[in-house]
Amino acid sequence: MNTVEVIKNWIDKGSEVLDLGCGDGEIMNILSKEWGSTVLGVEINQDDINKCIQSGLNVIHQNIDEGLGNFNDNSFDIVIMSQTIQVLKEPKKALQEVTRIGNESIVTIPNFGYWTTRINLLLSGKMPITGALPNSWHDTDNIHLCTIKDFENLCSECGINVREKCFFNKFGKESVLAKVAPNLFATTAMYKISK
């Protein structure tokens, strides 16, 4: 299964979904069309916002780093934050906010513990540049990268429960290796969490 299929597996049909950092609305589109979800996106990039609007998706122009206080406690069944937490100034606060707003949340992170990243750093002595992390250290939006272990530690530190997890290889698919030793062999990790 790929990430969107897993998300569908993890949420009920017809759920109310808030997608923080929704990009061009890819996930929202699938959930609203195939899963009967009511979706609302939050995005900061103007072109992405216009693509969402073009697709008839509801989207709010908002900078997550400036707070999410306009969303009430438990006001959505599901809050999705896919490949976004690593670009935020305060990932810990964002994680707490996500679990406050959603009854349940789905967070996807790029795994900095992936083996090629580790070897890359070990052998070159430079910040890794890989398929998943294509930009130089000074030129990347990814300012708060973490490993699978780091993320799970942060969750327990914040009193957040991990309900489900799923690990994907570089092709965006689940694999045996990624399942057996995720921190080494998963490029992406997805969690279903709640307070």
Please report how close the Cβ of residue 32 comes to other proteins at its closest, in angstroms.
11
Q: Hey, what amino acid is at 94?
A: A
Measured distance CA(50)–CA(131) in Å, rounded: 27
Of the candidates 30, 146, 148, 149, the one whose C-alpha atom is nearest the C-alpha of residue 80 is 30
Question: Quick check: 80 binds other proteins (CB under 8 A)?
Answer: no
Q: Please, which residue, 9 or 54, has the CB nearer to other proteins? A: 54
Query: How far, in whole angstroms, is CA 20 from its chain's centroid?
Result: 9
Paired with 43 in beta bridges are 61
* Residue nearer to other proteins on the CB measure, 54 or 153: 54
Q: Give me the phi and psi of 101, to 5 degrees please.
A: -75, -40
Indicate the residue type of 120: N
Give whichever of 78 and 160 is closer to other proteins, judged by the CB atom. Answer: 78
Q: Does 59 bind other proteins (CB under 8 A)?
A: yes
Nearer to other proteins, 59 or 78 (CB): 59
50 binding other proteins? (CB under 8 A)? yes
Shortest CB 40 distance to other proteins, Å? 7
- Pair 163, 193: CB distance under 8 Å: yes
Q: Does 46 bind other proteins (CB under 8 A)?
A: yes
Give least dist CB 71 to other proteins, A: 7
By CB under 8 A, tell whether 73 contacts other proteins.
no
Cα(168)–Cα(153) distance, integer angstroms: 20
- The reply to whether 75 sits near other proteins by the rule CB under 8 A is yes
Q: Any contact of residue 194 with other proteins (CB under 8 A)? A: no
Number of DSSP helices (H) and strands (E) in the chain, helices first? 8, 7
Binding-site ranges for other proteins (CB under 8 A)? 16, 38, 40, 46, 49-62, 70-72, 75
